[in-house]
Amino acid sequence: TMALCLKQVFNKDKTFRPRKKFEPGTQRFELYKKAQASLKSGLDLKAVVQLPPGESINDWIAVHVVDFFNRINLIYGTMSEYCTERSCPIMSGGLKYEYRWQDDSKYKKPTKLSAPQYMCMLMDWIEMLINNEDVFPTRIGVPFPKQFQQVCTKILTRLFRVFVHVYIHHFDSIINMGAEAHVNTCYKHFYYFIREFSLIDHRELEPLVRMAVGWGG
């Protein structure tokens, strides 16, 4: 079961534990609880992602970016043993899509990496951003930076690539672990969220476009 898979990941490798938690008592913690309650109540996912009345859009986006990061990090963690240098020497989504890594420090130009290397660089890069108070401020009254939504678009675009790789190259492993429903729900939630706020360029969504058609997306 998925619960067992997650338990094994938590025990096996601290790399795949949730990287950031919301502090109880903060506005964002309350928003997070509200979002989780809606999700668990079985509401339509299209309705769940909508901005609650009176809430800040940046707070809502921040809560979801952190939550999706933690959940997608765990999903990849559950099947990372099947994604190796040998099985996935290139970070790709089938023959048509290849993703190269670029950041502002070690890789200044788009660089070809294996899928496990790319995933490792990606998770560390996101963790650094969401724990940076200048980008994701947690103190009350501290405003979000002007480029906040642009940063979130970049984070979500790269997280989408994890879904692309997992669905196209490792879906048999997901089915074998009994995690298909969990991964599908997470992806659907993610997809409706990015569409609701136009956070990813539609061209990036092409590798999995057929799945969305089935949902009327």
DSSP codes, 195-217: HHTT-S-GGGGGGGHHHHHTTT-
What pLDDT shows up at residue 20? 56
In a domain, residue 174? The reply is yes
pLDDT confidence of residue 13: 46
Q: Quick one: pLDDT at residue 25?
A: 56
pLDDT averaged over consecutive 10-residue blocks of the chain (217 residues)? 40 46 58 61 79 90 91 88 94 94 91 95 93 87 93 97 95 88 89 95 91 63
Residue 67 lies in a domain: yes
Q: Is 83 labelled as part of a ligand binding site?
A: yes
Is 152 among the annotated ligand-binding positions? no
The number of folded domains in the chain is: 1
pLDDT at 7: 41
186 annotated to bind ligand: no
- Would 17 be classed as within a structural domain? no
What CATH number corresponds to the domain at position 64? 1.20.140.30
At residue 92, φ and ψ (nearest 5 deg) are: -145, 170
Which among 70, 62, 28, 54 is positioned nearest to 145, based on CA atoms? 62
* Whole-structure pTM value: 0.83
Domain that holds residue 81: 2-10+36-213
Q: How many CB atoms lie within 10 A of CB 68?
A: 21
**165 assigned binding-site residue:** yes
In whole angstroms, give the CA distance from residue 48 to residue 15: 29
Residue at 143 is within a domain: yes
